[in-house]
Amino acid sequence: MSETIHQRRIIIGAVLCVAAFALVGIRLVHVTLLKSWESGRAATIVAARADLVDRNGQLLARDLPVKDLYARPAVFWDKREAARDLAAATGSDERRLLSGFNNAKHPYVLVARQITPTTEARVMHLGLPGLEFEPGGKRYYPDGRNAAQLLGVTDPDNNGVSGLELGLQDQIRASAGGRVATSIDMRVQYILAHEIEQARQTFSAHAAGGIVMDVKTGEVLGMVSLPDFDPNQRKLGGGDSTRNIMAQDVYELGSVFKIFSFTLAFEDHTLKSLDETFAIGQGYKIGKYTIHEAEHMPATLQARDILAQSSNIGTSQIALRSGGARQREFLSNLGLLSPVKTMLPETARPLFPGANWGMIETATVSFGHGISVAPVTLKKTAASVVNGGRQITPTFIRQAPGTDNRGRQLIKPQTSQQMRDLLRYVVTNGTGRKADIPGYEVGGKTGSAQVPGPHGHYLPHALRTSFFAAFPVHDPRYVVFVLMDQPHGTKETGGFALAAYTAVPAAAHVIARIAPLLGVPNVAAPTELASQ
């Protein structure tokens, strides 16, 4: 009996030993072939990000499940063959892989990041040992290039590095698994991008851009910067650019700046009336300098026509009545002398005269030379001029219906009304005629500026053209700004490349297409100046 008991105990002990050795063996295989050692690669944790959607719920950006592929080359039977096969399956560089496989200091080698299920299937078909797939996420942008600089991109670890992906990072992280509704209206964005690209191609411009914004909420409905890039690719193609010229570049924008010169004149009552006549002549001397016109002007112009026909000489005379110190104070109060702070991380500091802000600086600044600002800065400041005179800051988050984000009063409401009437007159009787869209009562101002070159000189025959527009101008709801960098005249424009021929038609096409979508009624209420 005791012998039988001893035999059973021996059998049970043997079974337990076999089981223990089997478990140890399985664990060894698991550690050797599938898992990293303590001294090896640490697990990568990729934080999830919320979807970005436009104001109507259309998807703009989403995390897609992907995997990072690592290899343990110590278990490969042929490292050269493994490098060749993995490179073919994943698109990785074969020489990099082989170099990593032959480096004994690193037990794990990163083969490829963010591989798709299709690529994973190809890798699995190779039957190689020592491979590990680390789950992660890849940001996907279904609209590709559309709004690329505006939305921005993430890095391989799913952290925002530019655009709204970086600027809204906190909201995107806090809403992981949910969605963040932006102010963008992709219908507007598509139209804006299409018209800007058409104009850029027509006039062979180096670059171009546009912005559409609500003047009461500050919501940016569309922002385009060309050339652009494909955010779904991790490399740029020929001619691509990640730079958002509307936010992070500054330009001398020329005569569109006359909006602020006339606003100052109305605020300071330095104009007797819009009927007041100014001598224009062939040039206006200030010390050793002479102010010239971009185009031929009559010998005299009334104040209203100084803005409508965009006279540099007339605007200079009006600005000098207020003087340089007052001009600087006024522009600073409007926010033109400091960077605009938005949810976009891309920003630019304006360039303007320093301590020596004398008569010639006052004159040139009055018509947009000698001062450089970002297009987004000019657009938001001009929006404050027409929205009743109240400060407005661009936002990229959708606001509740009926929201009014206008802040402190920058100029008198009466001044804002006067400027709206005058900007309407520019479109009906001046350089903005091509934006006079029946029924939508557009008001606006053109800008055609010389392009600064090296050594403080302007490039010959090079222009930067722009157009600021508000509609419907008697009670503005939206503003549009279009910029074209060095457009060229065409046969249809008689060789002219001024804003009236380049930027104005592009803005007009945008307004005509987006106004019905945005519910702007097609009715014209004549302003006082336009009816005269």
Q: Are 296 and 359 within one domain?
A: yes
Straight-line distance from the first to the last Cα atom of the chain, in angstroms, rounded to the nearest whole number: 126
User: Which CATH number belongs to the domain containing residue 90 in this structure?
Assistant: 3.90.1310.10
SS3 of residue 287 by DSSP: coil
Q: Are 16 and 103 within one domain?
A: no
The reply to whether 304 falls in a domain is yes
Catalytic residue among 255, 261, 316, 416, which?
255
pTM: 0.85
- Domain boundary (129, 147, 182) is at 182
- Domain boundary (147, 182, 217) is at 182
Q: Which domain holds residue 352?
A: 188-531
Closest CA to 291 of 315, 257, 263, 260: 315
> Do the beta carbons of residue 308 and residue 446 sit within 8 Å?
no
The reply to whether 83 falls in a domain is yes
pLDDT, tens digit (0-9, with 9 covering 90-100), for 463-517: 999 999 999 999 999 999 999 999 999 999 999 999 999 999 999 999 999 999 9
The reply to whether 358 falls in a domain is yes
CA distances to 25, 26, 478, 492 from 21, in Å? 6, 9, 76, 87
Q: Are 256 and 175 within one domain?
A: no
- Domain boundary (182, 215, 235) is at 182
Q: What φ, ψ does residue 31 adopt, rounded to 5°?
A: -70, -40
The reply to whether 309 falls in a domain is yes
Q: Are 415 and 286 within one domain?
A: yes
Q: Are 112 and 210 within one domain?
A: no
Q: Which residues pair with 479 in a beta bridge?
A: 213, 470
Q: Are 25 and 64 within one domain?
A: no
Mean pLDDT over 238-247 rounds to 96
Q: Are 264 and 303 within one domain?
A: yes
CA distances to 258, 268, 333, 417, 523 from 408, in Å? 23, 19, 11, 17, 31
* Tally of domains in the chain: 3
% of residues, the chain, pLDDT over 90: 80
Mean pLDDT over 120-126 rounds to 94
Closest CA to 256 of 373, 401, 139: 373
On the CB side of 56, CA atoms within 13 Å amount to 9
Q: Token pair of 408, please?
A: 């402190």
Q: Are 17 and 128 within one domain?
A: no
Q: Are 371 and 424 within one domain?
A: yes
The reply to whether 40 falls in a domain is no
Q: Is 384 a catalytic residue?
A: no
The reply to whether 42 falls in a domain is no
Q: Are 442 and 465 within one domain?
A: yes
SS (H, E, C) 161-223: CCHHHHHCHHHHHHCCCCEEEECCCHHHHHHHHHHHHHHHHHCCCCEEEEEEEECCCCEEEEE
pLDDT of 344 reads 97
pLDDT of 509 reads 98
Q: Are 211 and 87 within one domain?
A: no
Q: Are 197 and 177 within one domain?
A: no
